[in-house]
Structures are given as C-alpha cells and as structure tokens.
Structure 1
C-alpha cells in the first residue's frame, strides 16, 4: 500500500504552519499600525506608516532576489526553516524599536527574510506533488497566509486592547519559534522513493486529464531547462512573452493586495473606530481572500485554461465594482451604520475576487515553466510585484495624508483595478494558447 498520502499530508501541514508563522510575523507591522499611530510618544503619521510598508516591500523585493537563486541551490526545506527563524527574530527587534529609523530598518529586514517563504514552498511543492495537483496544493497553502492573517489580526488585535504593543510583538515571535521546532522535525526535502508519482497517474473517467497528466509528468522529468545554470534560466525567462505577461499581472495584483496595509487605518479614520476595533475590523480583507482561495480549491484543477481565464477575468471585474462602491458610497446618503457594513462587504468582495488570481496562476506557472529554476522564477516575478507595491505604498500614504484624503487614495485604486482586469485576461489567454500547443 502506498504511503504517499500520509507523507504528503505531513509535508502539507508543516508547510502550512511554517508559512503561517512567517505571515504572522510579517503582518505584525500592519496589525500594530493603529497602535503605533495612537502612541503619542512615537509621534508617527500616516506617511510614516506608508513608509514602513514601502520600505518593507523594498526589503521583500531585495529578499526575492536573494532567496530565489539560494533556494534552487540549498533546497526548499533549509530555505524555509531559516526564513521562519529570522522573521521571528526581526519581529522582536521591531517591537523593541525606539524611533522611526529603527522601525523602518527592521520592517525592511522582516519583509526581506519573509521572502524566503514562497520560493521554499515552490521547491517543496515541486518535489512532493503531482503537476496535476499543483493547483490544489497551492490553493490550500495559500489559505495559510490568509487564515493566519485573519486569526492573528483578531487575536493580536484583541491583545492590543489590554496589552502594550511591544508585548504583543514579543508574543507573536515566541509563537513562530514554537512552530519552527515542529517544522524542523517533520519537514523533509524530497521523497525517498524515486517512483513516488508512478502510482495512479491515469484518470479513467477523463481521457483529457489523463493526457494532460502524462504531458505534465514528462515536462517535470524532462524539463527544457534541466541541467542549466541560473544565468541560462534567466536568459530563457527574459526571452519568454509569457514571463513578461505574468510579471505585469503580478505587479498590478500586488498593488491591489497592498490595500490590506491601509485597511485598518482607513476604517479607523472613516468610521471613527479605536485602534483595537480597526485592527479587528480589518480582518474582513483576509477573510475575503481566504474565502476566495477556498473556492478555488474546488475548481482550479478541474477547469481548462480557457475556463480559468473566464473565471478570473470575471473576478477582477467584481474587484473593480467593489472599489467603486467604496469610493461612491457616501453619495447614497445612507446611515453611518449602513455605510460601515456596506464598506466591510465591499472590502470582503475585493479581497475575495483578487486572491485566486494573485496566488495561483503565477505559482503554478513558476514550477511548470521554471523547472529546476522554479524558486528563481517565482522570486523574480514577485520582485517586480513588490517593486510596484512599494511605489503604491509610498504614493498611497501620501494621498491619504493629502487634502483629497481617502477619496484620492480610492481613485488610484480604481485605476489599478481596471488595469488588473486587462492584465489577468492577457496572461491567462497566453496560458490557454500555450496549452493548445501542448507547451506547458
């Protein structure tokens, strides 16, 4: 009897909890933002908070350039474990920071080390899961980041109501170090059995899926980039129109996801909430994102490339409608309570609609197209996304502080969301055409 499912379950749980630990550490900058703003001894402004997010995002960009090639050389397990340890350390350092410069520096380092998570996952997923199950594996793992953000924001937001924010940061770090110990013992680099994927490769009920499965396995073990160096891989990526399209798509979607960094402060100022209430209310964004990913578990591996193109394009149209709702909601002259509930619903739908497009296509494409350089490719794509997100954070914080306030901020988000529809359709259309040529 095959021991593949139990082994894969152990690996999945380890990756899930390990990435959750990294996300909790990364999210502490956002969770603590309302408390930092309310701490008069610090004298911070929304521009400062935007700068923390921006420099943190630049740190993530730098980290992607480091951790991608490194993960391809040292493996996913070691990369993953180092990342958990360092993010926990830098959360402690952030919590001990005395001034703006220290906050900014440790935000940079925290985001930089957290960048090790996704390339580590890319290598481990490629080793432990069948190509036809990449969508399901990535859907489940992506919920780790969203679920951890939801629970962490609620729990640590609650702690903020009666604990000092520095104590809350320390508790988050200790929690992550506990998870690190478990991952050290249960996470393995690759299966010991060379025939790990040989069983049950066919699907008697669907001939098309059986053919696609065989093609995917052939691509996995006979990849065009097998045996090539990092430079050769980068040259191949630079020549590919599909890589260009996925980079553009991720730049736009990462900016849209970066709205999360502003949600708590937006709700606090727009609806007169306390920092603790704002932190907890902001969980509506990760809850929406989590719900979108749970929905994608059911459909992603079962749809054709054409079907996925249609679904994701419609989802991005919904995200645009959600931002338009936030911008023009005051024109309907509803009560403050109704406005607040509608705003929460719009934020939920925004996150729900963009999360499958943000997490899944790029992750699957990086393993399939990148092959032995999958970690490098996933980090290269992410680096461009984070560069765009850093720009968004710099501009967003200043727009929120400007005379136009949150209205100016939302106008920028509306424009980005419109571009998101086009970029998602263009990349998924290129994937559809590539699948028709059997060039996966």
Structure 2
C-alpha cells in the first residue's frame, strides 16, 4: 500500500479552507473574505458605551456641577457676611450678620419641607433648573442691596431655592439609575456637597483675602451658577423614557402585590406620608440622622477649637480643620462602591464600625486637649472619613428605594429636616458650652447615632 500521500498531508497539517481552491471557487473565497471584513468593521464600529450609559454619565456630571454651583453661591453669601461688617458703605454689624443667618436657617427648613413635594409633582429637571435660575438672580440681587431688611429678605428667598437643589437631584438620580447602583451614584453626588463646600471656602476666601470686594465675589459665584443653569437646561431630561431608552431597574418590594412596581406608585401625598410614618425604619433613620447631623456640625467650630486649645493662628487652625472635608471626600470616593457590592449584614457591620471609629476620634479630641497639631489633623481626617458615609449614603439610598420614583424627594426632604433641626440646635448651644462639655455631647450623639443606625440597618425596609 502507498502511504506516501497520507504521510505528506500529515506533515503539512490541515490546510486553511480559503486555500483549498479545489473545494471552493475563487468567487466563494472573495465572498468569504468580504463577509469576514464586514464583521470586523461592525465590531470596530460597536460603541464602548451604550446610549443609555452615555446619557447617565452626562446626567451625573450635570447634576454634580449644578449642585456644586449652588453650594458655591451658598458659601459665597455666607462668607460675604464677614466682609460686610467691614464695609464702610454699610451699617452692618455682627449682630446683623447673626440675624441674617438665623432667618436664613429658618427659611432653609421651610424650603426643605416644601421642595420635596414640589419636585415629586413637577419633576426633578424643572425644579433643578428653576433653583439654579433663582439662585443666580437672588445671589446677584444680594450683591446690589444696602439695607438690612432687604439683605434678610433676599437671603431668605435665596435659601429657600437653594434647599430645593438636593430633592431635585435625588429625584433625577432615582429615575435615571438602577437601584443596584444607588450607593455609588449617591456617594458621588454627596462628594459634590463636600467638595463644593471645601473648594468654595478656599476659593472665595482666598479671593477675599486677595482684596476683591465681597460684591465681586458674589458676582463670580452667580456667573458660575448661570453657566451651570444653561448646561442643565441643555442636558437634563426627566427620565430615560423621554429619549426612548430603557427605564431604570428597581428591586421588587416584598410588601407590594403588584409585581415589580412600588406600593406608592399610585398613592397620594397623604397616603405616602402615612406610609412613611408607619415604618419603624423611617423613624430610626430620622433619629439617627438627627444625631449624625449634630456630629457633622462640629466641623464648623473645629477651627475655633484648634485656635483656642492648640494656640494656632486662625489660618493654621482652619488648615488643620479642613482635613475633615478632605477625609469626607476621600471616603465617599470608595464607600459607595463598597456599599453596593456587599449584603445587608456586611452593610450593618460596615456602617457601625465606621461610627465606632468616629466615636473613638471624638473621644481622642475630648480627652487629649493638648494634642499635637499634626496628630489632630490626622484624627480629624479619620473623623471626616468615617462619619460621612453613614451620614450621606443610607439616607439617600433609603429615600429612593422606600419612597420610590413617586415620593423619593418628599422622603429625602423630611429626613433632611430632622437633621437641620439638630444643626440649628447645635449651633445655638455650642457657643454657651465649654469645650469639655461640648465634646461630651458630641460623643453621646455619635453613640446614639450608632445605636439608631444599627437598628435601622436591621429592619426589613433597609435591606
């Protein structure tokens, strides 16, 4: 038998189909090459990001910058109050500045109580654009008045519109993003608040120190907000459905028999409020938010504490205290991703451990009054990093999940009112307490926040 031909074929190995001219004609080879080339071109043309994801990125960036500009105007009006007391064209005293702030805080609470329901009725896009427009107008007006009565009135109206930015933002995040991504998205939005406050304080404070008039500072802030308002008007959309995109995906609720919907989808406002009030999770989180806000308010008085206890210059004391904001921003960069990728039990341990560390940091500041400035900066950095995640993320995620697309803004506003009442109370008593008593109250607040937040994380509604 002749095995030479078989041996030769085995040595050459299998031949490529395109080279087997005896089996396929030249025309078939050409057609096959065209098909393969077309498939490669199709693969190259396939976008890395889908249209829905691209729109989500655009919405996220627009909301981030829009709320950043609101914070810029808020800080600008508050920073300008100190410069107004030195303005010889005004008869504006420190008592007048305190009066303006007090009325503004009251207006902010009123705005929080109203803006949530307004955003749920008219939509997040309309409320956000309206808020930015009003902030531009009233920040500019604030820079053009000379009478204390007008200062108070304009400041109050401006505060009402500023308060509506966060509920509108929450509404759009809830509508545009899937529930499994709430943690990381809301963490990013919280960074807008933290980084906005930090950057605005340094930027506007630096411009004032450089000799710019406080009215010019307000015009700069209003101009930035105007640009963000125009950007929001061009980019923001109420929902992905408007653009023919897939609606956001939500988890089915255990207490709802209607399938994948939400129990509040067809409820009125009164029904929604009773639904919230009947929930133990709502009250636990509200009380936890009250105590957490009291602890967060400590950051406003840290520069004075370091100036008195460590005998630092005002600038050095402010620099040490600013590590709180830096820690908060660093924490929020990663905590949202962690929050989304762990289960309920791990979230419980994660948040309670963070608050336990926060309590330890407050104990160090309480029991070691003569701490070194460098070590104090580290302690405050850790405090900001560990308390910011429990303060921002659980409340935002719970508001969007428990309130649903229909009433998430209302719920987040109510929870903010809990916290802002604590903020006003803390601002009132801080000036009349010794540092030892103040830190004692802070440690107790942090412990109580840990207890109530732990109970909240154990409820069914928080899972």
- Above 0.5 in TM-score? yes
Partners of 1:94 and 1:267 lie apart in 2 by 33
User: Where do residues 12-411 of structure 1 align in structure 2 (5 Å cutoff)?
Assistant: 12-29=60-77, 31-32=79-80, 42-44=92-94, 54-95=102-143, 105-163=153-211, 164-191=213-240, 192=242, 196-197=246-247, 222-270=261-309, 281-331=320-370, 339-371=372-404, 372-399=406-433, 404=434, 406-411=435-440
> Following TM superposition, by how much is the alpha carbon of 1:11 offset from its aligned partner in structure 2, in angstroms?
0.5
Aligned counterparts of 1:220 and 1:88: Cα–Cα separation in 2: 44
Q: C-alpha root-mean-square deviation of aligned residues, in Å?
A: 3.1
State the Cα distance separating 1:143 from its structure 2 match.
Answer: 1.0
Query: Aligned pair in 2 of structure 1 residues 21, 275: CA closer, same or farther (>3 Å)?
Result: farther
* Contact 1:50/1:394, CA 8 A, preserved across alignment: no
Matched residue pairs, number?
Answer: 409
Q: How many angstroms apart in 2 are the aligned matches of 1:288 and 1:323?
A: 15
Distance 2:107 2:375 in 1: 35
Q: Which has the higher contact order (CA 8 A, sep 6+)?
A: 1
Please identify, of 277-286 and 406-415, the stretch whose mean Cα deviation from structure 2 is larger: 277-286
Aligned 8 A contact 2:67 2:193 in 1:
yes
Distance in 2 between residues matched to 1:391 and 1:151, nearest whole Å: 26
1:141-166 deviations in whole A, cap 9, x for unaligned? 11111122222222222212212334
2:82, 2:97 within 8 Å by CA — same for their partners in 1? no
Deviates further, 54-63 or 313-322: 54-63
TM, length-normalised to structure 2: 0.79
Q: Secondary structure at the match of 1:88?
A: helix
- 2-structure distance, mates of 1:5, 1:52: 44
C-alpha separation in 2, matches of 1:341 and 1:272? 13
Name stretches of at least 5 consecutive residues in structure 2 with no aligned partner.
Answer: 1-45
- The one-character-per-residue Cα deviations of 1:318-367 (angstroms, maximum 9, x if unpaired) are 11222222223335xx6xxxx22222222222221111111111111111
Q: In structure 2, how many angstroms separate the alpha carbons of the residues matched to 1:316 and 1:49?
A: 35
Normalising by the residue count of structure 1, what TM-score does the alignment of the two structures yield? 0.83
Greater Cα radius of gyration, structure 1 or 2:
2
Shift in CA distance, 193/277, structure 1 to aligned 2, threshold 3 Å = same
| Kept in 2: contact 1:14–1:183 (CA 8 A) | yes
Determine the C-alpha separation between the residues in 1 that align with 2:148 and 2:359: 35
Measured in 2, the distance between the counterparts of 1:185 and 1:37 equals: 40
Q: For residues 267 and 101 of structure 1, do their structure 2 counterparts lie closer, same or farther at Cα, with a shift above 3 Å needed?
A: farther
User: Aligned partners of 1:365 and 1:306: how far apart in 2?
Assistant: 16
- Rounded to whole Å, the distance in 2 between the matches of 1:51 and 1:299 is 43
Cα deviation for residue 300 of structure 1 reads 0.8
Residue-by-residue CA offset, 1:245-282 (whole Å, 9 max, x unaligned)? 11111111122222233334444555566666655554
